[in-house]
Amino acid sequence: MSSFPTSELVKFSDLHPKPSNVTFSYGTAGFRTKASLLDSVLFRVGVLAALRSKRLDGKTIGVMVTASHNPEADNGVKLVDPRGEMLENSWETLATNLSNAETTGDFIQVVKNIINHQKIDISKTANVIIARDTRPSGPGLVAALEDGLRAMGAVARNEGVKTTPILHYLAGKKAPPLVVDCANGVGFFAAKAMGEYVNSVLPLIPHNIAINALGALNNACGADYVKTSQRLPPSLVSVLHPGQRACSFDGDADRLIYFYLDDRSQFHMLDGDKIAALVANFIAELAKGAGLDGKFEIGVVQTAYANGSSTKYLSERLPVQCVKTGVKNLHHAAEGYSIGVYFEANGHGTVLFSPSALSILETHQPSTPAQSTYLSNLIALSDLINQTVGDALSDMLLVEVILAHKGYSGLEWDSIYSDLPNRLVKVVVKDRNIFETEDAERRLTSPPGLQQRLDDIIRKYDGGRAFVRPSGTEDVVRVYAEATLRPQADGKSQTFDLEIMFIPNIFPELAFRIAGLVYDESGGDSSKRPKEFL
Ligand SMILES: CC(=O)N[C@H]1[C@@H](OP(=O)(O)O)O[C@H](CO)[C@@H](O)[C@@H]1O
Ligand SMILES: [Mg+2]
């Protein structure tokens, strides 16, 4: 908003007239009185919260609707400053003045005075987060508050029913800085440019930014390194501290992989599958909250490389499709849904909103203020996401928005499901063209008989799944394998060290058995057979 919104304020203020013969006061804990008297106060507090946020360069102001320990028929409202603290004293007086302006004209005049005296730049964005207790008068009063915020063009986030301390916490919480591994590539330019816009709310700390160093690109860093080796880039070992989130781009910044260290400094990877689960869940939640349940279909597209746990988790909630490797295949399949979420496990993906879904979002009439918030959040996501192709930066913002919204750290995100231990192995063969597949590349049709031999091996591993396909980008055959536990293939019982069992790298056996078989069956030279193949 670039100029003072007088006509909006007049229009909305007339909907919330001040009752005559009442004098309000911003007391020890904000305004507090009979709920039936508070409609105009809530509207005006919405306007004041927006002014306070603008005065503080868009920092988030909290508004809590509650009358605490007082009788249920009472209600109240108080403002919370950006660090989660009580409203600054001088503003309590402004709040009282504003609430007692008798007419819309008086009210507008007080607003103008506040803007002048506080030297408020009205063109700044205002960010306000609101919550209420369980009082029956809460929803109506929140609606009045939202009118005030709307009149001022504030960005409002309705947290629904929350305790007062949680609202203080949410208002005071900042996104912790995000370490961004730029793979020594072009993603650094983009991260740097974006940092100028987002650093005040989401501080970015770029690493691996040696664009001009020969041989540095993707070397022991970047999304492919992290995903394939399931390790922290060595360059980040002394950078990342426990609990901090980090992400890696690839060399052209169209892939994104997240990771974090837990409080024992163990590395945890959040790959494209985890991103898909986070995003698809969130979109489904927003659509439901907006009252759009059943109005359109939200689907997820994966490839055979998706971790089995992710497929299980997602299929229990949404339609999931498996297609051949390659973004073109995922993108195409995702176009078949109203909202199609697609990600390769390696972090390449995006979300597509069909034209009809977008027009439903535009025309849908929410029936409650809460529905309206969900709807505007969903529309905002459709703007945030680069729908032309997977985009590491746009995906990073998408992930950050969801984490911030849900108050998740890497740990909470990670715990939505546990990855099955897995391994990807390359096999160099004489002629990869002899390998032909079916069933979205999950089964071999050629060389004849090989699939059956693979099945015989896979069957011996609890929850085992594996497949072999020729790469479409390198002269190799790829083997992927995952299983629930380490093998009992030799029939001997094994004891497991639980600590070790959940470290994915410890699980190479099924993959190396299959790699060995593929190598031998395709005429591999026994003198050059990689030692790790079984
Ligand atoms: C297992 C794997 O990561 N395969 C990658 C790789 O394809 P291959 O056909 O597996 O070489 O490169 C593609 C292009 O970047 C990418 O879309 C795909 O996910
Ligand atoms: Mg790329």
DSSP class of residue 37 equals G
> What is the token pair recorded at 246?
């980090």
- Determine the 3-state secondary structure of 28 from DSSP: strand
Report the CATH number that the domain containing residue 219 is assigned in CATH. Answer: 3.40.120.10
Atom 6 of ligand 1, nearest CA residue? 473
C-beta separation of 516 from 427 below 8 A = no
Distance 226 CA to ligand 1 centre (A): 15
Instruction: Give the ligand 1 atom nearest the CA of 469.
Output: 10
> What is the token pair recorded at 468?
């072999």
Distance 463 CA to ligand 1 centre (A): 24
Distance 485 CA to ligand 2 centre (A): 32
Instruction: Give the ligand 1 atom nearest the CA of 474.
Output: 11
pLDDT score recorded for residue 352: 98
pLDDT score recorded for residue 2: 47
Instruction: Give the ligand 1 atom nearest the CA of 478.
Output: 10
Q: Report if residue 1 sits inside a domain.
A: no
DSSP class of residue 18 equals P
Atom 4 of ligand 1, nearest CA residue? 325
pLDDT score recorded for residue 485: 65
Model pTM? 0.72
Residue 40: CB partners within 8 Å, gap ≥ 6? Answer: 16, 17, 18, 19, 99, 144
Residue 26: CB partners within 8 Å, gap ≥ 6? Answer: 87, 92, 93, 95, 96, 99
Q: Report if residue 216 sits inside a domain.
A: yes
Single out the residue in 151, 172, 193 at which a domain terminates. 172
DSSP class of residue 440 equals T
Phi, psi at 116, each rounded to 5°: -70, -50
- Cβ of 343 closer than 6 Å to ligand 1, yes or no, is no
Q: Report if residue 534 sits inside a domain.
A: no
pLDDT score recorded for residue 220: 97
Q: Which domain holds residue 289?
A: 272-414
Q: Report if residue 490 sits inside a domain.
A: yes
- Cβ of 346 closer than 6 Å to ligand 1, yes or no, is yes
Q: Report if residue 363 sits inside a domain.
A: yes
d(CA 75, CA 97): 20
Atom 17 of ligand 1, nearest CA residue? 326
**β-strands 436-438, 443-446: how paired?**
antiparallel
Do 428 and 279 have their domain in common? no
> What is the token pair recorded at 508?
């190479």
Closest ligand, as measured to the CA of 183:
2
Distance 306 CA to ligand 2 centre (A): 18
Atom 10 of ligand 1, nearest CA residue? 471
Name the residue among 179, 177, 175 with its Cα closest to residue 237: 179
Do 125 and 84 have their domain in common? yes
Do 152 and 218 have their domain in common? no
- Cβ of 327 closer than 6 Å to ligand 1, yes or no, is yes
d(CA 43, CA 29): 18
For the chain, the farthest-separated pair of C-alpha atoms sits apart, in whole angstroms, at 98
DSSP one-letter string for 292-346: -TTTS-EEEEEETTS-HHHHHHHHTTS-EEEE-SSHHHHHHHHTTSSEEEEE-TT
Name the residue among 342, 521, 306 with its Cα closest to residue 424: 306
- Cβ of 472 closer than 6 Å to ligand 1, yes or no, is yes
- Cβ of 326 closer than 6 Å to ligand 1, yes or no, is yes
**β-strands 155-161, 127-132: how paired?**
parallel
Atom 14 of ligand 1, nearest CA residue? 326
Instruction: Give the ligand 1 atom nearest the CA of 346.
Output: 3
Tens digits of pLDDT across the chain (534 residues): 446 788 999 999 999 999 999 999 998 889 999 999 999 999 999 999 999 999 998 888 999 999 999 999 999 999 999 877 888 888 999 999 999 999 999 999 999 999 999 999 999 889 899 999 999 999 999 999 999 999 999 989 898 999 999 898 888 866 789 999 999 999 999 999 999 988 877 999 999 999 999 999 999 999 999 999 999 999 999 999 999 999 999 999 999 999 999 989 999 999 999 999 999 999 999 999 999 998 999 999 999 999 999 999 999 999 999 999 999 999 999 999 999 999 999 999 999 999 999 999 999 999 987 898 899 999 999 999 999 999 999 999 999 999 988 878 899 999 999 999 999 999 999 999 999 999 999 999 999 999 999 999 999 998 899 999 999 999 999 999 999 864 443 333 333 333 334 444 446 799 999 999 999 999 889 999 999 998
Beta-sheet strand order (sheet of 339-343): 320-323, 298-303, 339-343, 349-353
Report the CATH number that the domain containing residue 517 is assigned in CATH. Answer: 3.30.310.50
Closest ligand, as measured to the CA of 478:
1
Distance 253 CA to ligand 2 centre (A): 6
Closest ligand, as measured to the CA of 425:
1
d(CA 98, CA 78): 14
Do 257 and 293 have their domain in common? no
Residue in 255, 325, 432 to alter for ligand 1 test, most ligand atoms within 8 A of Cβ: 325
Do 277 and 383 have their domain in common? yes
pLDDT score recorded for residue 328: 96
Single out the residue in 270, 294, 322 at which a domain terminates. 270
- Cβ of 344 closer than 6 Å to ligand 1, yes or no, is yes
Q: Report if residue 533 sits inside a domain.
A: no
C-beta separation of 236 from 253 below 8 A = no
C-beta separation of 307 from 293 below 8 A = no
Do 185 and 266 have their domain in common? yes
H-only helix segments in 137-249: 138-151, 164-172, 187-198, 222-229
Q: Which of 20, 36, 68, 446 is catalytic?
A: 68
Do 300 and 254 have their domain in common? no
Based on the residue annotation, tell me whether 522 is a catalytic residue of this protein. Answer: no
Residue in 249, 428, 437, 471 to alter for ligand 1 test, most ligand atoms within 8 A of Cβ: 471
CA angle 104, 108, 113 (to 5 degrees): 145
- Cβ of 153 closer than 6 Å to ligand 1, yes or no, is no
- Cβ of 478 closer than 6 Å to ligand 1, yes or no, is yes
- Cβ of 519 closer than 6 Å to ligand 1, yes or no, is no
C-beta separation of 49 from 113 below 8 A = no
- Cβ of 348 closer than 6 Å to ligand 1, yes or no, is yes
The H or E element that residue 270 is part of is strand 267-270
Do 166 and 65 have their domain in common? yes
Atom 15 of ligand 1, nearest CA residue? 326
Q: Any idea which residue has 């939505």 for tokens?
A: 416
* Residue 88 CA: distances (Å) to CA of 33, 43, 156: 21, 20, 21
Binding residues for Mg(2+): 68, 250, 252, 254
pLDDT score recorded for residue 277: 98
CA angle 469, 473, 474 (to 5 degrees): 80
Do 222 and 158 have their domain in common? no
* Residue 50 CA: distances (Å) to CA of 11, 79, 123: 17, 11, 11
Residue in 473, 479, 480 to alter for ligand 1 test, most ligand atoms within 8 A of Cβ: 473
Distance 347 CA to ligand 2 centre (A): 9
Based on C-alpha coordinates, what's the Rg of the chain? 28
Report the CATH number that the domain containing residue 351 is assigned in CATH. Answer: 3.40.120
Q: Domain count of the chain?
A: 4
Chain mean position to CA 55: 29
Single out the residue in 414, 439, 467 at which a domain terminates. 414
Do 165 and 191 have their domain in common? no
d(CA 155, CA 128): 6
The answer to whether the peptide bond before residue 447 is cis (omega within 30 degrees of 0) is: yes
Q: Report if residue 87 sits inside a domain.
A: yes
DSSP one-letter string for 371-404: HHHHHHHHHHHHHHS--SS--HHHHHHHHHHHHH
- Cβ of 432 closer than 6 Å to ligand 1, yes or no, is no
Q: Report if residue 450 sits inside a domain.
A: yes
Do 377 and 279 have their domain in common? yes
Bridge-partner residues for 269, per DSSP? 259
Do 277 and 263 have their domain in common? no
d(CA 9, CA 22): 22
Phi, psi at 251, each rounded to 5°: -60, -25
